[in-house]
């Protein structure tokens, strides 16, 4: 029983994944910077800025930059030709009390969100112990205008934010994993400026011990 409690306390996890594909036959011959949303919990970053800085991902490097729309996660090409991007920021075996709490009016969101839908994305209601959502939501990715001339048939974008948190520890450990996921596939010629990514939220209960 004691082992179950200890294991439950360190069973927390958080992650953010970004995948952008369609660059296999790109004709772009100059460096490229793409800007992605940042996940927030209760209005605070899922990770501190330094966790994103100067990370290498097969021809891309990440950083957090200030934009006219607030902080965004930037990926800059480090080699040519441009390759598909898959970036993952993940921590496992986290002490539960060090994770952001999801209760009351807490929420898991992306920033920036669409200006015409700023509702809470995934919210936890402590009164009935049941998570509820603000419905489908849009977020953004930003492409420089030069992307429209890459000679690619499509660009596909996926993002996924995850927080796994233990709720009880005695006599068994229970918990909930919260996700924000977004996905869009657009013609290559439309990969320019701000592109809206539709998303949805979900939660998965677990009983690990």
Give the residue among 8, 54, 57, 22 at the shortest CA–CA distance from 153.
Answer: 22
Q: Which is more confident, 199 or 55?
A: 55
Segment 175-185 mean pLDDT:
83
When pLDDT is cut at 50, 70 and 90, the band that residue 1 belongs to is very low
Mean pLDDT over each residue of the chain, to the nearest integer: 75
Q: Indicate if the pLDDT at residue 105 is higher than 90.
A: no
Q: Indicate if the pLDDT at residue 64 is higher than 90.
A: yes
Domain range list for the chain? 2-207
Integer Cα distance of 187 and 126 in angstroms: 43
3-state secondary structure of 49: helix
Integer Cα distance of 77 and 173 in angstroms: 43
Adjacency order of strands within the sheet including 33-36: 60-67, 70-77, 33-36, 137-143, 193-207, 174-187, 154-168, 12-21, 85-94
Q: Which is more confident, 136 or 150?
A: 150
- pLDDT for 7 equals 40
Out of 19-23, 73-77, 167-171, least confident range: 167-171
Q: Which is more confident, 208 or 74?
A: 74
Angle among Cα 176, 179, 182 to the nearest 5 degrees reads: 170
Give the residue among 42, 10, 172 at the shortest CA–CA distance from 109.
Answer: 42
Percent of the chain with pLDDT over 90: 24
Out of 10-14, 76-80, 88-92, least confident range: 10-14
Token pair, residue 106, equals 């807490």
* Segment of 5-9, 28-32, 183-187 carrying the highest mean pLDDT: 183-187
Token pair, residue 177, equals 């994993």
* Segment of 90-94, 125-129, 203-207 carrying the highest mean pLDDT: 90-94
């Amino acid at each position: 029983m004691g082992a179950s409690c200890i294991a439950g306390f360190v069973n927390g996890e958080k992650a953010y994944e970004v995948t952008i594909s369609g660059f296999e036959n790109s004709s772009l011959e100059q460096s490229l910077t793409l800007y992605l949303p940042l996940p927030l919990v209760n209005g605070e970053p899922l990770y501190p800025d330094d966790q994103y800085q100067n990370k290498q991902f097969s021809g891309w490097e990440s950083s957090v930059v200030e934009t006219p729309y607030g902080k965004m996660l930037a990926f800059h090409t480090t080699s040519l030709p441009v390759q598909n991007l898959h970036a993952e920021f993940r921590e496992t075996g986290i002490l539960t009390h060090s994770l952001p709490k999801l209760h009351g009016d807490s929420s898991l969101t992306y920033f920036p969100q669409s200006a015409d839908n700023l509702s809470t994305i995934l919210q936890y209601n402590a009164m009935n112990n049941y998570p509820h959502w603000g419905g489908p939501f849009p977020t953004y990715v930003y492409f420089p205008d030069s992307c429209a001339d890459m000679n690619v048939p499509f660009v596909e974008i996926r993002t996924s934010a995850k927080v796994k948190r233990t709720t009880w520890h005695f006599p068994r450990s229970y918990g909930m994993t919260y996700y924000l996921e977004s996905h869009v596939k657009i013609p290559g010629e439309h990969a320019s400026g701000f592109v809206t990514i539709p998303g949805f939220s979900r939660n998965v209960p677990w009983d690990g011990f």
